Structure 1
Amino acid sequence: MERRRVVITGLGAITPVGLTAVESWQAVKDGACGIAPITQFDPSDMKVKLAAEVKDFVPENYLPKPEIKRMGRFTQFAVVCAMEAMADANFTLDEAEADRCGVIVSSGIGGLSITEAEHDRGKERGWDRVSPFYIPTGICNMAAGQIAIRTGFRGMCSCPVTACTGGTNAVGDAFHYIRDGYADVMLCGGTEAAVTPLAIGGFTSMKALSQNPDPNRASIPFDKERSGFVLGEGAGVLLLEELSHAQKRGAKIYAELVGYGATCDAYHMTAPRPDGSGAAKAMEMAIRDAGTTPDQVDYINAHGTSTPLNDAGETAAVKLAFGDHARELMMSSTKSMTGHMLGAAGAVEAIFTALSLRDGYAPATIHYEVPDEACDLDVVPNEGRSADLHYALSNSLGFGGHNGSILLKKWED
């Protein structure tokens, strides 16, 4: 089977550090931190009082009011990002066959805030009084569905629900779908809006979240004093195209997608394999899929959640996958700035990785202070770095043992 080449031609993002892909990337280059006190509800009686919320998002600035009422916050994020990616790519459906254009957008939790609100309503007024829009606005796949409705894309429309790996699985699956000839264009990514009392409480109870009240010391990947992740929200959507399809219409190209690997630890509900073997195999698979070698990878956008087990396990995985080259490459975590956006994380980080290649710039792991012998690779501490990047990997590791890695290559005409 012919393996077609796949490129990224459009980007859209809403993150805790910016309302567009351009704003978000500039904030990352500036080392801005999107972590602050929670504003979406009153957390005064809770242990965790910080989150990485999207700031100043006004849906009425992007969408008609009737549509807003039929979309959860996570879907609003995704649709707005998809429109941004389409505009950024200067793409319209007139330039493609609708049946060969698809959507794969992940969400780990979907409309949790809707579930919480409708549960309260049902308890108060009776269960038959729950909103008729509850199910169609709250289910995880509705972000992908609404994007397809809005764009007219009639090809495959899907929603990987693989926890924190979902965004990466969406991009990787879309890449393979185009590469293997099933589509010419795909909108792909992830979205999440789960800064809610139930989510914060649930993650706190399982001791996954940092309880540090200092925004500068809460999300500190690879730092010895790390104590958990900071919950974030937002979305990232990429427009992928088959290379000749993009070139025929004169599209600008950010980067080329060249490899994808997905594995499962098959080990524990929440903890990664301590030796990192499952994550290592996903990275090795992505590199083999690209037909390249580990020593050609210059930078890794790490999953890097700031939990004790994840960061040590991911470091071990990189050492296992890359051998001696692990100490030559750079590996940073942009979650130090954005917090952990769950199902949106891998998509937003894929965007950052593509822009890292375009700009020749490895973003920092900010607020890094105390080195950890278990995380002893070059984590690009505190200051981003200009570098000659040709290949870059983006990792995602999720509850349930899901591991995903995508390999991107710098675009050169």
Structure 2
Amino acid sequence: MSFSSSSPSSSPSASPSASPASAAGSAAHPLAPYGWDEAWAAAFAPHLDRGLVPGRVVRVDRGQCDVVTAGGLVRVDTEFVTPNDPLRVICTGDWAVVDAGGDPRYVREYLPRRTAFVRSTSSKRSEGQILAANVDFAIIAVSLAVELDLGRIERFLALAWESGAQPLVVLTKADLVPDATGLGYLVQDVETAAPGVQVLPVSATDGDGLDVLGALVSGGTSVLLGQSGAGKSTLANALLGEDVLTVQAARDVDGKGRHTTTTRNLLVLPGGGVLIDTPGLRGVGLFDAGSGVGQVFAEIEELARDCRFLDCAHVAEPGCAVLAALDSGELPERRLESYRKLLRENQRIVAKTDARVRSELRKEWKRRGAEGRAAMEAKRGTRAWR
């Protein structure tokens, strides 16, 4: 999708006469399709007297970002929101406080985030990189054109749970699986690696599963994640109902593709909700995701409560309930090895970073995420009774 700088009145879908003050909490507000609600209006209220306007960041690009406001799409400078902390830089999905009357226009700050999807960068400094902000659903796209990598799925899920968003695993290219029985087995395999998460096979070619997926994400903001070649752009185009994003063929040998998406773009879905498309992720490093790992491996954490020793490492200790479950066949060895691997990786990251500060940030994101989802559910309930 091509975003270009424009004046506030140039967008055909904008309503120049609507003001944030008069319509901030109304469902008729021009930003409602982008996720604006009464909670965001209340958070923005202190800025109204300063003549600033709210807007949602739809793309960030080299010191500037595209922000959709009540008056349309504007290109603004990010000079005032470029701190040294990489987790506090402005990001696609943020709600910005915009000085739209100046020349150049500036983002003065952004509203406190409800959730944030963060991964570890490949740098030796073990920094975090924020991929998307204020996300309700984390859609993890997994291609069925290649052999399933359950460990990678568990890694994505740990980051998704840690972000405060609700994960959803979408198995793309389901039309390439020759029979329904085989597809059922693949779904079951992924479900064992994703307890408490819906697993949905879809085919953008045949349209199978797209109506269910569209309904699931229609009530909030979703971020689309996965490796290059997982079919994310094809899936996004199917949800959008048009070919907005460029699609390239994956290699037959390994199912991988080139990065057809190079920036993170926020797009409005015709059936409701918004979608943040992201470039393919080759590296998915954990970043202070201890609680996320625990949620992915909830059955192991539950077993560990019955271990004889509180600090049991589940290696060779007597009275270890986890090892007993392994011996009985109740717990697959692959799950335990994956759990150990992600725990070790996360512990190394935490040891190199200020875990306390990161933990406080995440607690705040999760609290706000819970509030946002509660408001969304209440809104859905109100609509159902009308």
TM range (shorter): under 0.3
Q: Which has the higher contact order (CA 8 A, sep 6+)?
A: 1
TM-score normalised by L of structure 1: 0.21
TM-score normalised by L of structure 2: 0.22
Greater radius of gyration (CA):
2
